[in-house]
Amino acid sequence: MSDVTETIQELLLTAGLDAGYRNESLILLEKGNSRYVRDLKLNFSSTFSSSHLNEKECALMALSIAVNNNNAVLINFFEQQALAKEATAEEIAEAVGCASLLALNNVFYRFRHFTGKEKYTQIPARVRMQLMSSPVTGKEFFELMSIAVSAVNGCEMCVNAHEQSILGLGASEERIFDAVRIASIITSAGKVIY
């Protein structure tokens, strides 16, 4: 067995999959004897802990990004991780809801930002965002999930607004950085694990 095949198997086991599982991306990496597989495995493993987020927060953050990216394999995996870290059904539902709500906001506010027309800022949005008003995960953590989803979706206006809100709530830039780091790794892993 090659080193790449062994690393793929370790990655799959880490993600809760059978070591023999393969998809098109994994097959191509394996055929090409890609050195990247080791980086991917190490990066993916690093999403389980953080110096600035607890393990439950890491799992909920990753779940929200997996939902945002519509990755069923990672959704299932990180739901199980969140449950193992004592996340409640309400907290898990909120991570899912956050991904959906921010997808809406990211499209809407990116549109306003791209056009740069004052008229579009004067027209009422007419979208409901009750989830943001009193989140069960707490305002600061909900904002962290929001900035992570917004970064993945490329909404500059939303990223800046959520960063300002998070810092205003007393969170550190390191917490923000780790949230976005986890989001980037889950997005990357989702290109290969699906």
- Please give the positions annotated as active site: 155, 158
Q: How far is CA 62 from the centre of its chain?
A: 4
Closest-CA residue to 188 (of 77, 63, 19, 66): 66
Q: Would you list the DSSP string of 59-101?
A: HHHHHHHHHHTT-HHHHHHHHHHHHHTT--HHHHHHHHHHHHH
Q: Would you list the DSSP string of 3-29?
A: HHHHHHHHHHHHTT--TT---HHHHHH
